[in-house]
Amino acid sequence: MAAGQSLKPFYIGLGVVAVAGVALIARSMGGSGTAVPAAVLPLPIAVANGPRGVVMGSDSAPVEVAEYSDFQCPYCARFSVLQFPDIRDRLINTGRVRWRFMNFPLDGHPNTRPAHLAAGCAREQGKFWEMHDAVYQGQGDWADSRRPERVLREYADHIGLNRDQFDQCMQTQRAMPEIEADRQRGDSLGVNSTPTFFVNGRQLQEVPTYDQLRAIVDSIAPVNPPAAPRAGAARR
Amino acid sequence: MRHRMAAAALALLGLLLSIYLTLFKLGFTGPLVCGASGDCERVQTSRWAELFGLPVAAYGAGGYLVLLVIAMVGLSAARQGDPSPTKWLAVVSGIGVAFSCYLTALELFVIHAICRWCVVSAVLITAIFAASVWGLMKRD
């Protein structure tokens, strides 16, 4: 093929595609973006922070996120598996966010209470978050099981819980009052679906991605000057 | 030279697509125009959508830009008889195909969601690779 003139239509076509593509991209940038959902700004006085739940992160973190979650809820599992690791690494472990997990077992989920109990019993041994992760990652294994306790017991072994103590805790259901207290707290706030999030007391209207949550945190507590990094999150 | 023209056109499409996905990941665009299933967002907001602190799509944009430059250089009058641009197209797009396979496997077996734009990108990079190999074999 001869160079120069014969390629001119090709170059023109390429240029047209480039211009059209850039125009489409520029148009998509005119939207609201993944930045800050308007519903959460400006921030009001905290109303949802309660003393219960299970907390991860620094007491001095400028932002508290309360998550009302059901272990058998697939959307909760999706959030936990896909978004929470980034949130934990980049927002909680850096001291910017304190996370409060609130048990909110829904009545329509028959296996969720054993799962919440298992997490409560793991909490007794200082391993709530390990059980939290195991339960969400393995949701498909126990959610429809006739004997979810068997699967949950395997998780207990896997994360290194004292088996006798765990079994006794599950049988006596002694973690249930804490779970019910969280549930009642959620009811009083009007929580009716999971997961539901409160950022410094203000309810989010949607399940945030990591990027959206980071944008919200940035809007509340800008990283300028940089927050002092913490060696690790306090796990309670 | 037809394979270089094809590679240039496909690389340009891939570049535009990767820029779009990168801008989404960085929060500069609205929701992805990618069907209503939510799978695109699920993939693009997953932890695997970043690599060494940069959006994976940004690496794609870099790769497509390199391919576009190689193809355009190969189309210049001085390089039309030179087979080396085609070899470089095959090498770079081959790396891209391998990376696309890895990402597609993540979507299928780890994230359990398929991002249509990622599939389009995988098809584009595979087509560039095929065009390059065809160019090498046919000495087009």
Does position A100 have pLDDT exceeding 90, yes or no? yes
When comparing pLDDT for B40 and B11, which is higher?
Answer: B11
CATH ID of A51-215, from 3.50.50.60, 3.40.30.10, 2.30.110.10, 3.30.70.1230 = 3.40.30.10
DSSP string covering A149-196, please?
A: HHHHHHHHHHTT--HHHHHHHHHHTTTHHHHHHHHHHHHHHT--SSSE
Q: Between chain A and chain B, how many beta carbons pairs sit less than 8 Å apart?
A: 72
List pLDDT tens digits, range B98-127: 999 988 888 888 777 788 888 899 999 999
Q: What is the ipTM of this complex?
A: 0.80
List pLDDT tens digits, range B71-89: 999 888 888 888 889 999 9
> Do the Cβ atoms of A31 and B28 come closer than 8 Å?
no
Subunit contact A17:B27, Cβ cutoff 8 A: no
> Do the Cβ atoms of A86 and A210 come closer than 8 Å?
yes
Domain B2-138 has CATH 1.20.1440.130: yes
Residue in chain A closest to B5 (alpha carbons) equals A10
Percent of all residues in chain A with a pLDDT value above 90, rounded to a whole number: 52
Q: What are phi and psi of A104, to 5 degrees?
A: -140, 70
Does position B61 have pLDDT exceeding 70, yes or no? yes
Q: What are phi and psi of B27, to 5 degrees?
A: 85, 20
Whole-number pLDDT of residue A3: 46
* Nearest CA among A36, A67, A76 for reference residue A49: A67
Residue ranges of the domains in chain A? 51-215
CA distance B57 to B20: 9
Mean pLDDT check: name the lowest of A161-165, B49-53, B55-59: B49-53
Chain B residues whose C-beta sits inside 8 Å of any chain A C-beta: 1-2, 5, 8-9, 12-13, 16, 19-20, 23-25, 27-31, 33, 41-42, 45-47, 75-77, 80, 111
Residues of B in contact with A85 (CB under 8 A): 47
Whole-number pLDDT of residue A230: 53
